[in-house]
């Protein structure tokens, strides 16, 4: 079947760019929120789940989220970065199922973010990225 808008198909490398920018900004904002907003509540939630030294875990999570967001925006190591961020989202979905009050994002939102990260795994970095396909 013929495409309805064939001219739009020439922009196929722009979609991963948009996905990278959106996911990067989201992870930077949530990583920053882990450091600044309601830090005590998040540490208490980690302590309730039997994490040893929850302050260090929260700081490590924030650093990984911020670094992952920056790497995605720059388009550097995109596939490795989205694998790490996808694992964070999977653990977040599991944690949300166990204790819904601990996380602010809904399960559906985390699932959509997970789908976008998996799509970046297969689509690649797209336009304006340091990563280039071999």
Single pTM value for the model:
0.91
Distance CA 74, CA 80 (A): 13
**What pLDDT does 134 receive?**
63
The residue that leads in pLDDT, 8 or 82, is 82
**What pLDDT does 79 receive?**
94
Tell which residue, 77, 57, 70, has the closest CA to residue 28: 70
Distance CA 23, CA 68 (A): 9
| 131 confidence band (pLDDT: 50, 70, 90) | confident
DSSP 12: T
pLDDT tens, 47-106?
888 888 999 999 999 999 999 999 999 999 999 999 999 999 999 999 888 888 878 889
**What pLDDT does 20 receive?**
97
The residue that leads in pLDDT, 73 or 46, is 73
């Amino acid at each position: 079947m013929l495409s309805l808008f064939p001219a739009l198909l020439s922009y196929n490398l722009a979609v991963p760019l948009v996905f990278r920018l959106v996911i990067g900004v989201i992870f930077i904002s949530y990583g920053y929120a882990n450091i600044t907003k309601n830090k005590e509540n998040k540490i208490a939630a980690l302590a309730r789940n039997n994490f040893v030294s929850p302050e260090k875990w929260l700081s490590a999570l924030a650093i990984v989220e911020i670094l992952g967001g920056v790497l995605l925006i720059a388009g550097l190591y995109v596939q490795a970065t989205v694998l790490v961020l996808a694992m964070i989202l999977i653990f977040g979905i599991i944690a949300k199922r166990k204790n819904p009050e601990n996380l602010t994002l809904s399960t559906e939102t985390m699932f959509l973010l997970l789908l976008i990260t998996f799509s970046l795994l297969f689509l690649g970095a797209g336009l304006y990225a340091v990563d280039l396909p071999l």
